[in-house]
Amino acid sequence: MIARSFAFVGVLYATYSAFGQTPPTNLPPATPGVFSAQSSIIIDGPIETVWSALLDFPAYPNWNPFVRWVHSLHRILLEALTDQTPHENLRLIIAAQIPPLPTPVDASTPPNLLHAQLSFENITAVDTAQHRVAWKEIMIPAPLLSAERWQALSVVNGNQTFYEAREVFGGPVGYVVDALFAQGLQAGFDAQAEALKELVER
Ligand SMILES: *[C@@H]1O[C@H](CO)[C@@H](O)[C@H](O)[C@H]1NC(C)=O
Ligand SMILES: *[C@@H]1O[C@H](CO)[C@@H](O)[C@H](O)[C@H]1NC(C)=O
């Protein structure tokens, strides 16, 4: 029981805090908002391997318990013009499970329809040099809801990768999202970080 509590506290420290051993962040400064979901994890693998996995949207169904699939709008409307490479100003439709599915998942894992959420997003950054990617919610207009999800990688301990994800939710609808989804979103961020680590270290 005590051991379990300590493990839990350890996970909290590792996940949320800027305490001693947490590597320096590679995320841009956070914008103010109503609440945020964030997670980080150290992955035993080279940064380029993690970066490729993060941008390989077609492979998400094989491993990601939170973001089940990502399609660019082109892919849905104009199958022939499919450009699989994420780039700035690309519109995405994202199907998420909030809270996330139990792990592990693969492409045949059925969705929990009660927890399925679709969102319409715009890629706002793909910075290959800095290993940062971001997309922003554009379904609900910005004065009502702002939500930009940043993910960043950095090299730690010579040959490991520090993965970080953060999304700040702002605007009046941010309070609604907070009340309805904050816990599930946090669980999703944590589950994706764990699953990405599993995927790369497997
Ligand atoms: C999408 O993001 C790009 C890059 O930040 C920006 O130039 C563009 O105006 C955005 N488009 C929409 C519809 O939000
Ligand atoms: C990664 O780092 C560890 C610890 O320094 C070392 O033992 C290992 O050989 C390194 N692996 C590679 C592939 O460089």
Give residue-wise pLDDT tens across range 39-72. Answer: 999 999 999 999 999 999 999 999 999 999 998 8
* CA separation for the pair 196, 163 (Å, rounded): 9
* CA separation for the pair 135, 199 (Å, rounded): 22
Domain that includes residue 15, residue range: 8-201
In a domain, 130, yes or no: yes
User: What is the CB neighbour count within 10 angstroms for residue 158?
Assistant: 5
Q: Whose CA is nearest to atom 8 of ligand 2?
A: 159
In a domain, 172, yes or no: yes
pLDDT for 18 equals: 40
159 lines ligand 2 (CB under 6 A): yes
62 lines ligand 1 (CB under 6 A): no
Q: How many Cα atoms are found within 13 Å in the side-chain-facing hemisphere of 141?
A: 1
Mean pLDDT of the chain: 88
Q: What is the CATH number of the domain that holds 109?
A: 3.30.530.20
Position 202 pLDDT exceeds 60: yes
In a domain, 56, yes or no: yes
In a domain, 160, yes or no: yes
Per-residue pLDDT tens for 95-152? Answer: 999 999 999 999 999 999 999 999 999 999 999 999 999 999 999 999 999 999 999 9
Distance 89 CA to ligand 1 centre (A): 5
Per-residue pLDDT tens for 190-199? Answer: 999 999 999 9
In a domain, 3, yes or no: no
What residue ranges in the chain does DSSP mark as E strands?
A: 35-43, 67-72, 91-97, 116-127, 132-137, 146-156, 160-170
Task: Identify the band that residue 85 occupies on the pLDDT scale cut at 50, 70 and 90.
Answer: confident
**Using the 8-state DSSP alphabet, how is residue 59 labeled?**
G
* CA separation for the pair 89, 121 (Å, rounded): 10
Amino acid at 131: H
In a domain, 123, yes or no: yes
